[in-house]
A and B are shown apart, each in its own frame.
Chain A
């Protein structure tokens, strides 16, 4: 009985959540029916859907997606791992933090996109330039969050480690890293999200493949259906990535019910 009621409420909630998208779709279709704009500016939702199906059918879409994903992963791995290592050292050693901290903070003031022209001048327009660019984007959240996590391990756990005579690697692996893990995982998720944004940016800059390129060329040739289809695809992939990492976070951090853990 009570289960039925909660089920019904959940259904109601889902329906409420669909209200905005449905209204938007209706407004969109209505605007098309008014025929105020040419189909260079406005195409019906169904056209976007058929374009998506067509692009998927020819395999073009899959190719673009795979190219973009490969770029993201390469840049992300580079950027996030170097950010992790640097953040770890800065968190562990005050002198490293003093030397590197202000410098990284100053560099952070320069928006990632501002580096793009310089990267292109130095590395050319090929894959390497894109990887470097994405790596820069992935780097900052990882440095920051790793540092935060590592440098704020509660004092009480440090005392505990002293009492149990934990040193170096054991202290690091049993106390510091697990304690910093929630922060590190947040860093990873932000980092991957930014990488995904920057791959789209890098591909708008000039290339011959990738989902960003697909949208760019759609714009050049006034194929607005392709542009919107691209938007749908990058949104969906961004959503999936985020959800995936959230899931991993929930799995890994089962213990993290509340920050303090324990009711006593």
Chain B
């Protein structure tokens, strides 16, 4: 067992939902380890159970067979050692940017809280917006606040559920760069669910490919090359072709950008 912080181990995990009295297997015998400080993406088409897997790691889903461990301990409900960024930024509309970032910081003193909030505002590049309400922010800005809120608790692991899925293509590329920068600064484990192959290759040390009905891990691909990565480089395109092949798209649409 590792003594490093921010390790998640999933062992023989299966989960079913009951829909109209029929048991629907959503995850089947998942085995995977996410190591400390890694950036891992989980990709797969809709319905492959990738979001369910993330919610299990977060602690919002229970009732499964097998084991899910954080730093060697079984996951029992959400905990402050795991932060989350949802696809819908989920900022509380009645709180300002500053108050949203401080949402989980009630245990800190006033001064300390101010410091942490200021630090994270700077981290996500939103200085000067502390008093804005979520309704006044663009989608990209709102997602930055959500990232700051999740990181303010200093989690060992940051879970990201299609965090950039609702953004337009250009904002999205920019935010990918930002995520990479933040990850390199924070040096924590980040696990991201996405359906964008480019995004996964651009950001990850490891890409976990899942397929659906029932959700299983099809392949785990290491991405060893240096950062920042060039989307047009031959190694990038090569890996991308390899991943797309897993979805049976490799031969027919060699230049498809996303699934």
Q: List residues of chain A with CB under 8 Å of any chain B CB.
A: 156-157, 159-160, 162-165, 170, 174-175, 178-179, 181, 253-258, 260-264
Scoring B60, B93, B153 by chain A CB atoms within 10 A of each residue's CB, the highest score goes to B93
Residues of B within 8 A of A178 (CB): 92, 94-95
Q: Does B3 contact A (CB under 8 A)?
A: no
Residues of A within 8 A of B72 (CB): none
Q: Does B103 contact A (CB under 8 A)?
A: yes
Q: In the bound complex, do residue A263 and residue B139 qualify as a contact, i.e. CB atoms below 8 Å apart?
A: yes
Q: How far is the CB of B97 from chain A (nearest CB, A)?
A: 11
Q: In the bound complex, do residue A262 and residue B78 qualify as a contact, i.e. CB atoms below 8 Å apart?
A: no
Q: How far is the CB of A110 from chain B (nearest CB, A)?
A: 37
Contact of B80 among A164, A257, A258 (CB under 8 A): A164
Contact with A along B77-118 (1 / 0, CB 8 A): 111100110101111111110000001101000000000000
Q: Does B47 contact A (CB under 8 A)?
A: no
Secondary structure of the B contact surface, majority rule: loop
Contact of A163 among B60, B136, B166, B167 (CB under 8 A): B60
Q: Given contacts A174-B103, A262-B135, are A160 and B142 in contact (CB under 8 A)?
A: no
Q: In the bound complex, do residue A163 and residue B84 qualify as a contact, i.e. CB atoms below 8 Å apart?
A: yes
- Complex CA gap A183/B185 in Å reads 43
Q: How far is the CB of B168 from chain A (nearest CB, A)?
A: 10
Residues of B within 8 A of A263 (CB): 135, 137-139, 142
Residues of A within 8 A of B78 (CB): 162-165
CB-nearest residue of chain A to B141:
A264
Q: In the bound complex, do residue B90 and residue A261 qualify as a contact, i.e. CB atoms below 8 Å apart?
A: no
- Complex CA gap A253/B94 in Å reads 7
Residues of A within 8 A of B142 (CB): 262-264
Q: How far is the CB of A168 from chain B (nearest CB, A)?
A: 13
Q: Does B140 contact A (CB under 8 A)?
A: yes
- Complex CA gap A167/B167 in Å reads 32
Contact with A along B30-65 (1 / 0, CB 8 A): 000000000000000000000000000011100000
- Complex CA gap A100/B116 in Å reads 45
- Complex CA gap A181/B142 in Å reads 22
- Complex CA gap A162/B82 in Å reads 12
CB-nearest residue of chain B to A177:
B94
Q: Does B183 contact A (CB under 8 A)?
A: no
Q: In the bound complex, do residue B86 and residue A156 qualify as a contact, i.e. CB atoms below 8 Å apart?
A: yes
Residues of B within 8 A of A257 (CB): 133, 135-136
Q: Does B134 contact A (CB under 8 A)?
A: yes
Residues of A within 8 A of B90 (CB): 156-157, 160
Q: In the bound complex, do residue A256 and residue B140 qualify as a contact, i.e. CB atoms below 8 Å apart?
A: no
Q: Given contacts A164-B104, A255-B135, are A261 and B60 in contact (CB under 8 A)?
A: no
B131-167 interface (Cβ within 8 A of A):
133-140, 142-143, 153, 166-167
CB-nearest residue of chain B to A178:
B94
Residues of A within 8 A of B80 (CB): 164-165
Residues of A within 8 A of B139 (CB): 262-264
Residues of B within 8 A of A170 (CB): 106
- Complex CA gap A160/B78 in Å reads 10
Q: How far is the CB of B106 from chain A (nearest CB, A)?
A: 7
Residues of A within 8 A of B93 (CB): 255-256, 260-262
